[in-house]
Amino acid sequence: MRRLRSWFGGASQTGLRRVSIERARAVGPAPRRRPLPQAGEKILVAAAAALMLTVLLGVGAGLEAAGWFGLFSLVCLATVLFESYLVDFRRAALTSLSRVVALSVLLVGVLGCVRAFHELIGLERAAFLPLAFASLVMALVWGRALALESTVFVAALIGLYAYLHQPGAEGTAGLVVAATGGLVAALGAAEVKRRQTLVRLGLVIGFTQAATAGAFLLMGTGENVGSEMIGTLFLLGMEGLFVGLLVSGCLPIIEDLFDVTTDISLLELGNTHEHPLLRKLLLEAPGTFHHSYIVGLLAEASAEAVGGNALLARVGALYHDIGKLNKPEYFAENSADARGRHRDLTPEMSTLIISAHTRDGVELGRYHGLPQAILNFMPEHHGTSCIEFFYRAAQDMRGEENVSEASFRYVGPKPQSVEPAIVMIADAAEAISRQMPDPNPARLREMVHEVVFKRLMDGQFAECPLTLADLARIEEASARVLAGIYHQRPTYPKGRPHPLDLAQPRERRSARESGRMRGGETERALRGGRA
């Protein structure tokens, strides 16, 4: 696994090494992500899931042929309705065949656990079903909304299982307790930013399950409240705590298994004082580090404005230019002599060096175990845009008709999601703002608008779900953050330099201070003469 390789054979502070441009190019850009699985693939996965659910639900229930047909028809109907709902309202869960298969396996696996639970313990203790564990994993992987809806879907299937295998009211209260724990897990996973939050959420799940079971006891389920029942309530509470601890400990495995990056891992990756790649960037390419940090602020504000993943945008911005570590001296933010270095090269060679930083970043990121969600920022934040400075230089040297613009474009791909597109805008806006002689709010707003409009006309946002309204909000957020960065403090009054005005050269301030002291000595001498 990626994370395990980084633990045992990965990058330490002393094990950092340079990766050649040739190796980075051999890796190539991050693969494009398919928008949705094909219709045949969806039908095949849905049919396989329905068949497995039917087998898990019906085996041991003593059904005849007609009963099996009816059960299969009911499960197929439920599966088709659930899939149609996902297509209309949760398309993010269907962005690839692997995600569809993973969701199907998880749902079928939950019902398999119910089957094993029934065989080993019995449905009369259904309150201890680990539905909260599955719900919490789904919330971390696919989001709270899908976890909540999937929990309701699975709870309905478990109710059907109980109807087939244990008719009557026995076990119904336990199923309600387990389903309540699952719903609380899905709803409570809103702000899971630290592992301690998972433990606290586990306590809440356990308390809710115990309280629900206690309510059933008080309503009179035929059980006398005694020490045994109090022990059962205590065990239900401890089960919730165990779920929180288990998910916290298994988080790296969950991320590798489902190929996702949770907010907890993003916060760990965004620690600029701990991650070796960011520390290396700070030491060897401080200009790029500072640029990436400011881009992260712009991207975070813009993502919040359009309802994107602000944390992912900020952390992705921190790493989007790590490929510049291979040749930091060829980038203007790191070396004042960068333009002189390029003056000795042809525009084509300079383009190769500059454009290689996207592919170098992918190689470095993979070597240091960065997740795919972060790797996507490296090739996508430039998309297929043109490196215009060297393109114009080549035109001046050889004439417009002898230069192909395609030779001066990045290899892409274009941004496939909202967050890399936001970083594309923030990256250009931050770089241009550094060159502006008077970055006042009006000029910054105009500059950001031109950056967005130019990339829109170049088709760079054609493959991501950004609307014109989103672009307007991104412009507003970016201009607001830049205006705050370049805000000018009130200055001292004009005229003779004030000794506390450190914005003035030291010589002028020292001259004024010397004149003031000489004036004071003369005044004291005159006062002495009068005395």
Domain ranges for the chain, please list them.
Answer: 34-258, 271-485, 490-531
Report d(CA 192, CA 4) in Å as an integer: 23
Q: What is the token pair recorded at 298?
A: 């712009």
CA angle 267, 20, 290 (to 5 degrees): 40
Give me 513's structure tokens: 């201070």
Q: Is the pLDDT of residue 341 over 50?
A: yes
**In the beta sheet, which residues pair with residue 162?**
none
Q: Using one digit for the tens of pLDDT, what is the confidence trace for 102-115?
A: 888 888 888 888 88
Give the integer Cα–Cα distance in Å for 67 and 53.
15
pLDDT higher than 90, residue 315: yes
Strand, helix or coil at 409? strand
Quote the DSSP letter at residue 386: B
Note the pLDDT of residue 112: 86
Whether 6 shows a pLDDT value over 60: the answer reads no
Phi and psi for 174 in degrees, rounded to 5?
Answer: -65, -40
- For residue 1, pLDDT beyond 50: no
Rounded distance, CA 99 to CA 110, Å? 17
Q: Which residues pair with 87 in a beta bridge?
A: none
Q: Which residue has the higher pLDDT, 369 or 500?
A: 369
Residue 224 is predicted with a pLDDT of: 57
What's the pLDDT band for 284 if we cut at 50, 70, 90? very high
The three-state secondary structure class of 308 is coil
Contact predicate 294/246, CB 8 Å: no
Q: What's the pLDDT band for 65 if we cut at 50, 70, 90?
A: confident
Predicted confidence at residue 114, as pLDDT, reads: 85
Per CATH, which fold does 271-485 belong to? Hypothetical protein af1432 (1.10.3210)
User: How far, in Å, CA of 195 to CA of 38, rounded?
Assistant: 37
**pLDDT at 13 (0 to 100):** 36
pLDDT tens per residue across span 405-441:
999 999 989 999 999 999 999 999 999 999 888 889 9
Find the mean pLDDT for residues 398-403: 89
How far apart (Å, rounded) are the C-alpha atoms in residues 191 and 34?
29
**% of the chain with per-residue pLDDT over 70:** 81
Determine which of 246-260, 450-464, 479-493 has the lowest per-residue pLDDT on average.
479-493
In this structure, of 12-16, 123-127, 129-133, 156-160, the range with the lowest mean pLDDT score is 12-16
For 72-88, what is the mean pLDDT? 86
Least confident of 2-6, 202-206, 313-317, 421-425: 2-6
Q: What is the DSSP string of 14-45?
A: SS-----HHHHHHH-SPPPPPSS--HHHHHHH
- Beta-carbon contacts of 102 under 8 Å, excluding residues fewer than 6 positions away, are 141, 257, 258
Please, what is the average pLDDT of the chain? 82
Residue 451 is predicted with a pLDDT of 95
- For residue 450, count other CB atoms closer than 10 A to its CB: 14
Q: Count Cβ atoms below 10 Å from residue 145 Cβ, excluding itself.
A: 14
User: Looking at the predicted structure, is the pLDDT value of residue 196 above 60?
Assistant: yes
Q: Which residues contact 42 (CB under 8 A, 6 or more apart)?
A: 83, 94, 100
Higher pLDDT, 118 or 423: 423
What is the pLDDT at residue 7?
35
More confident residue, 257 or 314: 314
Q: What are phi and psi of 405, to 5 degrees?
A: -65, -30
Q: Phi and psi of 117, rounded to 5°?
A: -60, -40
Distance in angstroms between the alpha carbons of the first and the last residue of the chain = 92
pLDDT at 281 over 80: yes
**pLDDT at residue 344 greater than cutoff 50:** yes
- Residue 415 is encoded by which pair of tokens? 């941004």
pLDDT, position 496: 65
Q: What pLDDT sits at residue 409?
A: 95
- pLDDT value at residue 390: 93
- Which range, of 163-167, 274-278, 472-476, averages the lowest pLDDT? 163-167
Distances (CA, A) of 405 to 106, 107, 348, 463: 48, 50, 11, 21
Is the separation of the CB atoms in 353 and 405 below 8 Å? no
Please compute the mean of the pLDDT values over residues 160-179 and round it to a whole number. Answer: 78
- Residue 478 and residue 297 in contact, taking contact as beta carbons nearer than 8 Å: no
Region 240-244: mean pLDDT is 91
Cβ(113)–Cβ(130) below 8 Å: yes
User: Model's pTM, two decimal places?
Assistant: 0.76
Q: Indicate the range of 6-10, 380-384, 517-521 predicted with least confidence.
A: 6-10
**What's the full length of the chain, in residues?**
531
d(CA 321, CA 414): 16
* Residue owning tokens 């040297």: 397
Of 228 and 157, more confident: 157
Percent of the chain with pLDDT over 90: 39
Token pair of 206 as six digits:
């356990």
Residue 508: pLDDT band (50, 70, 90) is: low
Position with higher pLDDT, 324 vs 108: 324
Predicted confidence at residue 515, as pLDDT, reads 57
